[in-house]
Chains A and B, each alone.
Chain A
Amino acid sequence: MLSTFGGGGFIFYKFFNDSKNITENLLKENIQANLLNIKYFLDKNLKQDNVNQLKAYLDNIVHSNTVLSDIHIIDNTNKLLYATDRDTMPQHKNITCRPISEIVTSNIFEQECYTFSIKLFNGLKPYYYTATVYLDKKYLDSLLKDKIIKYAGLFVGYFVVFLILLWFIVKKFLITPLEELRQFAYYSNRVPMQFLIQEIESIRYSLDLTFKRLKKEQEELFNLSTKDPLSGLYNRLSLIEKINWLISKGERSHAKFALLFLDLDNFKNINDSRGHEFGDKVLQHIAKVLLRSVRNNDIVSRIGGDEFVIILPDIIDNEAILEVIQRIQNSLSTPVVFDNYKYLITCSIGVAIYPKDGKDVTELLKNADIAMYKSKELGKNNFHFFTESLNNEIQEKINIQRLMINALEEGHFKLFYQPKVDIASNKIVGCEALIRLIDPLHGLIPPDKFIYIAEENNFIIPLGNWIIKEATQQLKLWENTSMQNIKLAINISGVQFKNKNLFKTIENSIKNIDPSKLEIELTESVLMSDFDEKLKIIHQLKTLGISLSLDDFGTGYSSLSYLKQIPFDTLKIDKSFIDDLESKKEQAFVNMIVTIADELGLEVVAEGVENREQLEYLKQMKCEQYQGYYCSKPLPIEEFEKLFKEHPCP
């Protein structure tokens, strides 16, 4: 700014100086012309004694000229012959006069007086008068002062205008664009128009590009954080956020919304058989189907694996929910073809409704999940609304799951032993080890309460291993005692058969005992699926010298092909046949089973014998062994051993 001011000052000084020089030159020429005229006039007209005749003319010259103030004519005796201003002669004292030849070199604004000689002749002999011309100092001063005032004013004025103009230019082309860039950099909401200054325009362009790229990346990141990359649906995090928002809204407006928990039926089979890549295609297809089936404001999300959650906001009644479920199921009912394979995909849906079935996200998701599991239990491709009783059921299941896990760690599982009695000798010849859960708090929990749960969550595998280990240890303990001939039977679940380590576990467990003392009981249901695979394991077990028993015979398909292909040693007649043994029909069935067993060389054990009559019937049918409360309920080991030793069975 100082340099601008200095530069501006210099330019104006230069203009002022030029103007001053021009004025000075004009003034010099003016004075030169005036003095020349006066000199010429006096040279030509002044004579020794005619000054008075020239007075009027000289007066007129002075009065009509702004530059001149006075003329003095002094003769060769230094006598003043003429003065234009007759009254102010003393004022000219102390003024130095310069010859007219020095006009050019004199300071024209300061020099007040010039003088020249007037040559007069006496014959050809010259003598000289002197003419002194006084200039109007006030006029000379005013010329310079006017210029100074004018240029100073102009300088200040122009400088102010220049500053305003500079401010305007700087503001328009620098400050405003920079401010717009700042706002753009801060808010990045409005892209500024193109700027005139190239450097600023480059910054604007770069910022614009950067923000666009950032926005794109932000969207990508947002999608990554809120969307499931596979299906493009909302992910769990985003779902929770939206449910929370709906809950907040519902708290204010009492609006209800439904949460549909959808799980594909048997999706694991698809993944296992066709691979995960194929499974991903199916999931993408399902996502499209779901999006097509819901309303615009419904929320569809994938929260993991083959689990989807659909939120139906602002529902009024269950009809609307049913409509959506119907649409989903209808859409999925159309078989889908992938890689020339046709698949029929079904799903199970659990429904929870806010606020009835839950006040927060966790509760709603949990309850919808419960409802979905119930739906699966009901046979898949189904749906189920969450209810309080369902909740209680699930809670109990969860409680038992927890109890089982703790029980195994803390030794709350016990094996109870129910004797198998030889009907002919009335001696205890074997026993079936039955699992019991004795919780310190809840007491005895019957197996029908927890076995199916253990099978559902595969807890049956560690539990089964524990049973095998416990049973074989017990057999080891009985060795070399009076109970050394007791055959101990354990039950193997179908889930255990799916465990590849089953054979290895049993093989290791029987290393130190007589394997013929261990019997494995299988139900028909165990053999229902993957028969060939299981048959292979059964044959392997047989090679170990273990006995095999077909449990609950008669309740299932009772397929004779099982008896043909599986090397069973024993058939166990289901309790249901024994319960109605008074009826002829049941007797015929039991008799037929005993006969078949006899023909096949299998031992027969009747289960659930509770009274003398039943035993008598069995005796008549030549059934070999029985098991049931008539002899004893399942007993803890101490009591069983005591029973064996005392032989109290009737």
Chain B
Amino acid sequence: MKKILLLTFIFFLFFSSCSQQKRRELRISTNSWIGYAPLFYAKEKGYLEAADIKLITNVSLAEAADIYSVGKADMVTTTQHEYYMLKNSNPNIIPIILLDRSKGGDVVLSNRSIKELQNAKQIHAYLEIDSINAEVLEDFLKHYNIDPQKLKYINKDQAQIQDLKPQKDKNILIATYIPYNIFLEKKGFHELSSTKNTDAIIVIDSLCTSQKKVNKYKKRLHELKKIIDRSIREINSNKQQSYELTKNYLGNISYGEFVDSLQLIEWINHPSKTLLKRIKPMGYDEKFLIK
């Protein structure tokens, strides 16, 4: 009898060891944006690793979206622009966690004044065309009554845009966002407009994934939501520490720039009813959101 029990135990151990699998790693495709600082912070603090979640950092949102679209990532951080774009190719994508709302984080820079631009015959516009930059720039042109026909659009990613220098003989208009604007402003570009001073355009950063994955990893996504909430709390309570942990993801900006940047976004991980009501027509339905 003892032998039978022992054999059964060994048999059980053998098969249980075969069947026990490590928890599958979930991947988040993202890019350098102050609004995604909670993710960088959580990674550096080890919260993500503990939850078996990996962060894939890209230069631009478009590339982050590409990574997601080919299945190399389970979740992706998007503005509504990437959200719509991805939804076109895969209608299952839904926003599950709201991160931040840009309140000055998206900016339009130039080496000219608005008046000079209004009078210019040709303007070289640098932007990541297939991104929220385009919408911000369109809104800017519309707002300041600048003829789009004068613009020559040059599609660059943020890393390329970051390397631009002001040229005396060239009217340059740049649509970018934090932290790239900081480097450009240091080179002599100045801010003409941002999401801070317009309500016409609302830029929402959220974490998106497919409904299928929500069903499959519901528990883990709840865990992730808690991590993000915690990280936002800790960033707000200890900016110095969060700066130290996240500066490498944000182009090595200074602490002051980091603190300033944080002023240009609004955390919406606990969105107000008003906001929810406003963004619902944009496809950000409350029912998708993980509480």
Tell me the A residues contacting B by CB distance below 8 Å: 14, 28-29, 32, 35-36, 39-40, 43-44, 99-101, 103-105, 116-117, 119, 121, 123-124, 126
Contacts and interface: CB of A to CB of B under 8 A. Distances in A.
Given A39-B70, A43-B66, A121-B129, 18 more contacts: A28-B71, A29-B72, A32-B70, A36-B66, A36-B70, A39-B66, A40-B63, A40-B66, A43-B62, A99-B90, A101-B69, A101-B71, A104-B71, A121-B130, A121-B153, A121-B155, A123-B151, A126-B130
B32 to A, nearest CB: 17
Interface string B205-239: 00000000000000000000000000000000000
B89 interface: yes
7 contacts: A32-B72, A39-B66, A39-B70, A40-B66, A104-B70, A119-B130, A121-B155
Contacts of A123: 148, 151, 153
Interface string B237-278: 000000000000000000000000000000000000000000
Interface centre among B67, B69, B89, B153, by most A CB within 10 Å? B69
Contacts of A28: 71
Interface centre among A14, A28, A44, by most B CB within 10 Å? A44
A28 B134 CA distance: 33
A117 B86 CA distance: 12
Given A14-B18, A119-B130, A123-B153, A101 B67 contact: no
A632 to B, nearest CB: 109
Given A14-B18, A40-B63, A124 B70 contact: no
A117 B89 contact: yes
B138 interface: yes
A494 B130 CA distance: 156
A344 to B, nearest CB: 75
B89 A124 contact: no
Nearest to B69: A101
A29 B70 CA distance: 9
Contacts of B69: 100-101, 116
Nearest to A32: B70
A119 B89 CA distance: 13
Contacts of B63: 40
Interface string B58-102: 000011001101111000000000000000011000000000000
Contacts of A44: 155, 157
B123 interface: no
A440 B275 CA distance: 158
B129 A35 contact: no
Nearest to B152: A123
A100 B134 CA distance: 25
Nearest to B153: A123
A104 B72 CA distance: 8
State which size class the interface on B falls in.
20 to 34
B14 to A, nearest CB: 10
A101 B68 CA distance: 8
10 nearest A-B residue pairs (beta carbon): A104-B71, A32-B70, A101-B69, A101-B90, A100-B70, A121-B129, A124-B134, A103-B71, A32-B72, A101-B89
B137 interface: yes
Contacts of B129: 121, 124, 126
Interface centre among A36, A104, A105, A124, by most B CB within 10 Å? A124
B148 A124 contact: yes
Contacts of B151: 123
Contacts of A104: 70-71
A124 B137 contact: yes
B124 to A, nearest CB: 13
Interface in B1-35: 18
Nearest to A106: B71
A114 to B, nearest CB: 9
B131 to A, nearest CB: 11
Contacts of A99: 89-90
Contacts of A117: 89
A44 B159 CA distance: 13
Given A121-B155, A123-B148, A101 B70 contact: yes
Contacts of B130: 43, 119, 121, 126
A588 B138 CA distance: 195
Contacts of A124: 129, 134, 137-138, 148, 153
Contacts of A36: 66-67, 70, 72
Contacts of B72: 29, 32, 36
A578 B155 CA distance: 182
B148 A103 contact: no
A103 B153 contact: no
Contacts of B70: 32, 35-36, 39, 100-101, 103-104
Nearest to B149: A123
B224 to A, nearest CB: 20
A44 B128 CA distance: 10
A113 to B, nearest CB: 15
A101 B74 CA distance: 11
B162 to A, nearest CB: 16
A101 B86 CA distance: 9
A123 B18 CA distance: 57
Contacts of B134: 124
A35 B70 CA distance: 8
B210 to A, nearest CB: 9
Contacts of A35: 70
Contacts of B71: 28, 32, 101, 103-105
Nearest to B86: A101
B280 to A, nearest CB: 25
Contacts of B67: 36
Contacts of B138: 124
A104 B71 CA distance: 6
A44 B66 CA distance: 13
B127 to A, nearest CB: 8
A105 B216 CA distance: 15
A35 B151 CA distance: 32
A273 B151 CA distance: 156
A116 B69 CA distance: 10
A101 B134 CA distance: 24
A119 B88 CA distance: 13
Interface in B136-180: 137-138, 148, 151, 153, 155, 157
A44 B157 CA distance: 9
Nearest to A198: B3
Contacts of B137: 124
A198 to B, nearest CB: 10
A32 B69 CA distance: 10
B140 to A, nearest CB: 12
Nearest to B130: A119
A213 to B, nearest CB: 30
Contacts of B90: 99, 101
Contacts of A40: 63, 66
Interface string B173-199: 000000000000000000000000000
